[in-house]
Structure 1
Amino acid sequence: MPESHDEDVRLAALTAVGDINAYGELVRHYQSAVLGMLIQLTRHRAVAEDIAQDSFVRGFTRISQYSGTGSFRSWICAVAYREWLMYRRQNRHDHQSLELNDNIQDADNMDTATSLIDQMDLQQALNCLPADDRELLVLNYVAEFSHADIASLTELPLGTIKSRIKRSREKLKSLLGGVHND
């Protein structure tokens, strides 16, 4: 598994000359980050898995576009985000009917029942946000993109990104406070 930026660059270079095993290592290392981001964006695990698979295929075909100046994680998450946008445009009516419960992880993956409840509370609070604002929070906190990266990816002004993330974070805190104070 890649352990550093230099190793990611090395594996990407090997992939660019046809080493499928090198790309397999990159996929294994970053698949959970990509899937986690897509689950939050789609709110449906099966759809997220399909988009993640498409994203890694697209990443393989475009590996020569990875310059190595940024992290491979950010690059592949950006590929996945663009795949998500294409999926959403093509399936807008289907996306609106997907169920939240498909997104919540099994209790087996949680340390305690309390953490499962906290995750469900967070998911409910996220679902109260407008979809575009929820996506910005996911890109910032789940995919760990900087505000500048999000602005570039979404083609929105940096100031807009900053204000919408701040406003959404405050709304989320308010919603979570209300959930725990019932």
Structure 2
Amino acid sequence: MRAQDEAAIVACIPSLRRYARGLVSDPARADDLVQDTLERAWSRFSLWQRRGEIRAWMFGIMHNQFIDGVRARRSRPEDSAGDDVPEIAQRATQSDRIEVRDLDRVLQRLPADQREILLLVAVQQMSYLEAAAVVGVPIGTVMSRLARARERLRHELQGRAAPEAMPLRRIK
């Protein structure tokens, strides 16, 4: 591995940490996700085909690690039973802190597929094409997930219930 490639990987770490914290909300689990992503990137660097930006490749690895973790927790429900422990109320010191906490809670209520697209496009400032490559879906899917995530986020932050999706009906 060239020094230039190593520097490019290291430069991705702050963005990876932001994305991981948005995905899992828990700082310790987010750091574990970043660590797992970096380990996989280092060990499989020879598989990177240099067809795109290394940043998108790293986010793709993190996306896959996150999805693998979600699937693993679903298959072991006894391990995830303690995840819903209520938070102890803290006295607010700043209104900004309350708003950030509220935003984080609302983000965590979004479906994972919408949350990750929202984080990639809005926080990491990836283009729709880059986000589509990271997640492995068509660009139209990125656009629709982003629109649904923004709409739901807007409703939740305004204190209104998000409109539920209308069930599809078959018309003959």
Q: Same fold (TM over 0.5)?
A: yes
> Given the alignment, which residue of 34, 38, 41 partners 2:23?
41
> Given the alignment, which residue of 152, 160, 177 partners 2:141?
160
> Given the alignment, which residue of 64, 83, 88 partners 1:98?
83
- Cα-Cα RMSD: 3.0
Q: Give the Cα–Cα distance (whole angstroms) in 2 for the partners of residues 66 and 45 of structure 1.
A: 28
- More deviation, 165-174/60-69: 60-69
- More deviation, 77-86/139-148: 139-148
Aligned partners of 1:77 and 1:143 also within 8 Å: no
- More deviation, 145-154/162-171: 145-154
Decide whether aligned partners of structure 1 residues 160 and 30 sit closer, same or farther in structure 2, where only a CA change above 3 A counts. Answer: closer
Alpha-carbon shift at residue 34 of structure 1 (Å): 0.9
In structure 2, stretches of 5+ residues that fail to align are 161-172
Name the counterpart of 2:64. Answer: 82
Written as runs of structure 1 = structure 2, the 5 A alignment for 1:99-178 is 113-178=94-159
Decide whether aligned partners of structure 1 residues 96 and 43 sit closer, same or farther in structure 2, where only a CA change above 3 A counts. Answer: farther
Amino acid at match of 2:145: R
Q: Give the Cα–Cα distance (whole angstroms) in 2 for the partners of residues 99 and 45 of structure 1.
A: 16
Name the counterpart of 2:4. Answer: 11
Counting matched residue pairs gives: 152
Q: Which of structures 1 and 2 has the larger relative contact order (alpha carbons within 8 angstroms, sep 6+)?
A: 2
Q: Alignment partner of 1:36: what SS?
A: helix
In structure 1, stretches of 5+ residues that fail to align are 1-8, 13-22
Aligned partners of 2:108 and 2:115 also within 8 Å: yes
Amino acid at match of 2:46: S
Q: Alignment partner of 1:98: what SS?
A: helix
Q: Alignment partner of 2:159: what SS?
A: helix
Q: Are 1:73 and 2:58 an aligned pair?
A: no
Decide whether aligned partners of structure 1 residues 65 and 86 sit closer, same or farther in structure 2, where only a CA change above 3 A counts. Answer: same
Aligned sequence identity (%): 28
Aligned partners of 1:44 and 1:100 also within 8 Å: no
Decide whether aligned partners of structure 1 residues 100 and 169 sit closer, same or farther in structure 2, where only a CA change above 3 A counts. Answer: farther
Name the counterpart of 1:20. Answer: none
Q: Give the Cα–Cα distance (whole angstroms) in 1 for the partners of residues 68 and 152 of structure 2.
A: 28
Deviations 1:85-118 (A, max 9, x none): 222222223457535989xxxx9xxxx8232112
Q: Give the Cα–Cα distance (whole angstroms) in 2 for the partners of residues 160 and 62 of structure 1.
A: 28
Q: Alignment partner of 2:105: what SS?
A: helix
Deviations 1:112-147 (A, max 9, x none): 823211211211221332232222212222333322
